[in-house]
Amino acid sequence: MQLTGAQMVCESLLREGVEVMFGIPGGAILPLYQTLPEYPALRHVLVRHEQNAGHAADGYARASGRVGVAVATSGPGATNLVTPLANAMMDSVPIVAITGQVPRAAIGRDAFQEADTTGITLPITKHNYLVMRAADLPKVLAEAFHISRTGRPGPVLIDIPRDVLVEKAEFHYPEKVELRGFKPNMDGHARMIKRAAQLIRESKRPLLLAGHGVTISNASGELRELAEKAQIPVITTLLGIGSFNTDHVLSSGMPGMHGQAHNNWAIDRADLIIGVGMRFDDRVTGKISAFAPNAQVIHVDIDPAEVGKNVRVTVPIVGDAKRVLHALAKEVEQSTRTDWLKEIDELRDRHPMRPDHDPGKLLPQHVIRELSEAMGGQAVVVTGVGQHQMFAAQHYRFTEPRSWITSGGLGTMGFEVPAAMGAAFARPDKTIWSIAGDGGFQMTMSELATIAEHRLPVKFAILDNNSLGLVRQLQDLFYDGVQTASLYSGNPDFTKIAEAYGIWTTRVTEQGQVRDAIAGAMAADGPAIIDFKVDPGENVYPHVPAGETVYEMLEGPVGQDAPAWLS
Amino acid sequence: MAELETHTITALVEDKPGVLARVAGMFSRRGFNISNLAVGHSEQDSLSRMTFVVEGGQQVVEQVTKQLYKLIDVVRVNDISSESIVVRELALIKVKSTAATRPEIMQIVDIFRANIVNVSKDALIIEVTGDEDKVDALLQLLRPFGVAETMRTGRVAMTRGGASTGAKRAAQPVPDHNAPDTDVVP
């Protein structure tokens, strides 16, 4: 069967089970767009900026566990995908990006809207392709989807010159992809699993550190099985949140820079750290030489390059989290560990989170707690990056995997708007709460148009402190309070912006209004925006200064007798 | 000055456009130092073989190996430093010469079993093959005559014996080269 390159792309997307893609057309990619009407099963969502197409594909992928697809034209269309590709690369999210390229004969001649897309995206994709023959397209698409979703997931980009999209060739879709350079190891090494089980048996003070890998490999059940059988407290990294029910008695919260203080103290005392699907990122470890000084380390990850990259590992296990945890759970003994669990409870009592310490103020953590209570674990929560993200990570209670979507490794402000949109397409059965900062929201709020168009049930809770809150916090704590370029003097009226898009909206200025506003947003058909005017002076605590140890951790405002807000 | 620890690594890679950029880009963005890189076709169709010399200890080499494996186009990686290997590099050296100095240069070339591949009125081009020390020594002896130009290929290496380079690792019972489990233990 002879097909055009564009038809081949569509046929391939259908075979990979793609239902929706996010994108913006342009000259070089236009042959693909003009072919879309022949394929009504492929739904295209026209977004307002290519960055948002990429983040939407990311949010879609994280919420569904499937590959997200973004489409852009050559030149600026492709370069606008750089941030979302880097974001997906850092957080191991499966995305396939399809970009148009100038015609083959024009490549390398600085043609109109030409950019070296594969060159630019080389370090921020798991793999990328420049396709020079239409006949290669089926194989390339099959490989791209396979690479993107297999092993440690990641973004793959396919760059297609315009004349390749119109070139005709025979279409044969490969039934199976064989890549001699890409064969991820799924089962952990049996001897290593035995050694790990032995270490767990001998350990008096073990901790499980669960990361994004647990969610990605759908290993929550296996994680719970292991934790319950061996009675090991579970700490979830920022991206691991949701992989273990927050309300479980063994759930301990988040570690690291803004994690609950008792977790950092527990890590300091632990004699065994079992890291699963996580990468001992600097936000988790702080000063690496002082991290978990008394602990041996079992590191389970599907990416061999992560094992031994940051911390010294006693037992490395390269494999899929689900299979390894299952094998480990079978191998370990039933334990009680009453003393250790009691010790952690005591640590938690001595180092509690800052509660609503001032009922006279509208505090961000109060808003999060109210939202969490109202939703009862039933929403998908998407955040951007900054204070609002940390408050949400600390105070929201998650009952299921894939209900927490946040930009972790790259720390991309503005992620909260397009990613929430993508999540809404992935989970039409769910309400999506986008917890936003006023800074990030303004970076990507152009996507409100798309959200309004499709009447998506995306509810925005803007924790509006009229500033880049985390930057302001760093300046206050570590730069003598010199607030350079962190306070806004001309923020728009977010409720008026909502009105412009025909989106339900309200403003909240005091604690008493929070509950009704949330109820109002839930009752509204489609999207909603609540502008929470939160206290601009509030800081995120605890705060381990970058590169420092748990002993330098600030658990509350400097100068205040620790922890005075307890009494 | 203390001698830098170096490792010779060979990699089999897909013979595709851009594969060198992928490998070189990975080295530079992860801050690995390579003092040498040579690429050429291998004995197998559609595969090229690269030889690198990496500066750093065991831990660095382990990360280099794993990061190379993460590149889809890299098929096999081997640190052959501890194995019995043959190492060679080829150099072309253009040295200034006159009728008076030519015999002396030719003598040196003979001693090094090098070849003169081009003669002109005022210069000779010498072709030499050997390990880096041999090439360095020849260069040092030629320098007084005036070395106009040198071109060195960089190190290529091969393990001795009948098996192809890297086959030893592949024959081990660990089924998957992507998971060098046992190599990770510090």
Q: Please, which residues have CB within 8 angstroms of residue A341's CB and are 6 or more apart in sequence?
A: A231, A233
pLDDT of A248: 98
Helices (H), ranges, chain B: 19-29, 58-70, 102-111, 132-142, 167-170
Q: Is the pLDDT of residue B168 over 80?
A: no
CATH 3.30.70.260 is held by the domain B6-82: yes
Q: In this complex, which of A122, A182, A316 lies closest to B181 when CB atoms are compared? A: A316
Which ranges in chain A are annotated with CATH 3.40.50.1220?
A: 190-350
Q: SS3 for A210?
A: strand
Q: Which residues of A60-78 are buried (b: 16+ CB within 10 A; e: fewer)?
A: bbbbbbbbbbbbbbbbebb
- CB-CB under 8 Å, B71 with A147: no
Residue A381 to residue A541: CA distance in whole angstroms: 21
Interface test with B, best of A122, A136, A179, A191 (most B CBs within 10 A): A122
Supply the mean pLDDT for chain A: 96
Q: What are phi and psi of A247, to 5 degrees?
A: -85, -5
Quick one: which of A86, A333, A84, A65 has its CA closest to A214?
A65
Could you check whether B6-82 and B86-156 share the same CATH topology? Answer: yes
- CB-CB under 8 Å, B181 with A305: no
What is the average per-residue pLDDT within B131-148?
Answer: 95
Q: What are phi and psi of A18, to 5 degrees?
A: -75, 130
**DSSP run (H or E) holding A448:** helix A448-453
Quick one: which of A425, A431, A455 has its CA closest to A18?
A425
What is the DSSP annotation of A31-42? HHHHHGGG-TTS
Superfamily of domain A2-170: Thiamin diphosphate (ThDP)-binding fold, Pyr/PP domains (3.40.50.970)
Helices (H), ranges, A67-208: 76-79, 82-90, 117-121, 137-149, 162-166, 190-202
The DSSP output letter for B99 is T
Q: How far is B178 from chain A (nearest CA, A)?
A: 6
Residue A6 to residue B85: CA distance in whole angstroms: 51
Q: What angle do CA A275, A65, A218 make, to 5 degrees?
A: 40
Q: How far is B184 from chain A (nearest CA, A)?
A: 7
pLDDT of B166: 61
pLDDT of A565: 43
pLDDT digits (tens, 9 = 90+) for A46-87: 999 999 999 999 999 999 999 999 999 999 999 999 999 999
- CB-CB under 8 Å, A308 with B184: yes
Question: In the structure encoding, which two tokens stand for residue A337, read together?
Answer: 């560990």
pLDDT digits (tens, 9 = 90+) for A296-348: 999 999 999 999 999 999 999 999 999 999 999 999 999 999 999 999 999 99
CATH code given to domain B86-156: 3.30.70.1150
Question: In the structure encoding, which two tokens stand for residue A2, read together?
Answer: 């002879």
- CB-CB under 8 Å, B70 with A305: yes
- CB-CB under 8 Å, B182 with A305: no
Residue A312 to residue A296: CA distance in whole angstroms: 9
Domain spans of chain B, in order of start? 6-82, 86-156
Percent of the residues in chain A that have a pLDDT greater than 70, as a whole number: 98
Tell me the pTM: 0.94
Task: Tell me, yes or no, if A271 comes closer than 8 A to chain B by beta carbon.
Answer: no
- CB-CB under 8 Å, B176 with A119: no
Superfamily of domain A190-350: TPP-binding domain (3.40.50.1220)
The identity of residue B110, as a single letter, is D
Helices (H), ranges, A217-256: 220-230
CB pairs under 8 A between A and B: 72
Chain B residues with CB-CB distance to A122 below 8 A: 18, 21-22, 25
pLDDT of B181: 40
pLDDT of B167: 56
- CB-CB under 8 Å, B29 with A123: yes
- CB-CB under 8 Å, B18 with A118: yes
| Whole-Å CA distances, A446 to A51, A97, A413 | 11, 21, 14
- CB-CB under 8 Å, A179 with B22: no
Task: Tell me, yes or no, if A201 comes closer than 8 A to chain B by beta carbon.
Answer: no
Q: How far is B171 from chain A (nearest CA, A)?
A: 16
Residue A438 to residue A487: CA distance in whole angstroms: 11
Pick the CATH number of A364-549 from 3.40.50.1260, 2.60.120.380, 3.90.550.10, 3.40.50.970: 3.40.50.970
Quick one: which of A95, A91, A82 has its CA closest to A124?
A82
Quick one: which of B1, B5, B25, B22 has its CA closest to B13?
B22
Which chain B residue has its CA at the smallest distance from A118's CA?
B18
The identity of residue B4, as a single letter, is L
- CB-CB under 8 Å, A318 with B178: yes
Question: In the structure encoding, which two tokens stand for residue B114, read together?
Answer: 């090098």
| Whole-Å CA distances, B107 to A81, A91, B145 | 62, 63, 13
pLDDT band with cut points at 50, 70 and 90 for residue A355:
low
Q: Is the pLDDT of residue A93 over 90?
A: yes
- CB-CB under 8 Å, B18 with A183: no
- With contact defined as beta carbons under 8 Å apart, do A504 and A517 qualify? no
Which ranges in chain A are annotated with CATH 3.40.50.970?
A: 2-170, 364-549
| Whole-Å CA distances, A364 to A246, A374, A381, A468, A511 | 20, 15, 15, 14, 10
pLDDT of B35: 87
pLDDT digits (tens, 9 = 90+) for A108-152: 999 999 999 999 999 999 999 999 999 999 999 999 999 999 999
Chain A residues with CB-CB distance to B72 below 8 A: 126-127, 147, 179, 181-182
Q: In this complex, which of B14, B62, B186 lies closest to A181 when CB atoms are compared? A: B14
Residue A375 to residue A369: CA distance in whole angstroms: 10
Residue A158 to residue A408: CA distance in whole angstroms: 25
Q: How far is A357 from chain B (nearest CA, A)?
A: 45
- CB-CB under 8 Å, A318 with B181: yes
Q: In this complex, which of A122, A182, A309 lies closest to B25 when CB atoms are compared? A: A122
- CB-CB under 8 Å, B67 with A308: no
Q: How far is B164 from chain A (nearest CA, A)?
A: 17
